[in-house]
Chains A and B, each alone.
Chain A
Amino acid sequence: AQSVAQPEDQVNVAEGNPLTVKCTYSVSGNPYLFWYVQYPNRGLQFLLKYITGDNLVKGSYGFEAEFNKSQTSFHLKKPSALVSDSALYFCAVRPNSGNTPLVFGKGTRLSVIA
């Protein structure tokens, strides 16, 4: 069975500094990996995905994520954080075969301080 771990409940970063939100996963076979963001009182919005190929994937709002197969990680990054990036971030995984539902991590709350 697949699983996702987001080891940090909360990440605090100063505006303008780089940010990293961590994610590790477990899945049978090769993974499809996803990041979603949730702003207050809103649904989840798709940010980016890793399917295959280049380990560094770029997504919306200047975010990127690095896939590391040996460490089974898919950390979300941004070179320069904005206050408006403050939100709840979810990592998700599923096997790259079939159409099984995504399994989500518990989420990491990012707080960017001006």
Chain B
Amino acid sequence: DAGITQSPRHKVTETGTPVTLRCHQTENHRYMYWYRQDPGHGLRLIHYSYGVKDTDKGEVSDGYSVSRSKTEDFLLTLESATSSQTSVYFCAITSGNYNEQFFGPGTRLTVL
């Protein structure tokens, strides 16, 4: 998994509560990404980062914020979770000569 860990791996929470998911990488990659995976939609980009404190929005960024204060950590926060945010969340980094992406193991989030 290219030295990528995600925590927690599973989480159940209630509507309206804040949730933070963590992505940690050990290989000093500059670019990091958060995707969500939903049946019928494939993977959709939420936010990405191109360096410490440098982030940008993806296709489905509403309701999500991110922070990157250190190269190795990229945090995804749901300020007030909703049932529509029930999903599997994947973190990815860019590596290789042609910037292929490599993925972490995922976090399964259920919002009741």
Contacts and interface: CB of A to CB of B under 8 A. Distances in A.
Contact of B90 (A34, A44, A46, A51): A44
B74 interface: no
Contact of A43 (B40, B41, B50, B106): B106
Nearest to A91: B42
A46 B100 contact: yes
Interface string B90-112: 10101000111111111000000
Nearest to B1: A43
Main secondary structure of the interface of B (DSSP, over half): strand
Main secondary structure of the interface of A (DSSP, over half): strand
Nearest to B50: A99
For the side of the interface on A, what is the size category? Answer: 20 to 34
B43 A43 contact: no
Contacts of B105: 42-43
B58 A106 contact: no
Nearest to A34: B100
Interface residues of B, number: 25
A49 B97 CA distance: 11
Contacts of B101: 34, 46, 92, 101-102
B99 A32 contact: yes
Nearest to A96: B98
30 contacts: A6-B42, A32-B98, A32-B99, A34-B100, A34-B101, A42-B105, A42-B106, A43-B90, A43-B103, A43-B104, A44-B43, A44-B90, A44-B103, A46-B102, A49-B100, A99-B50, A99-B94, A101-B58, A101-B101, A102-B101, A103-B45, A104-B35, A104-B42, A104-B43, A104-B44, A105-B42, A106-B40, A106-B41, A106-B42, A107-B42
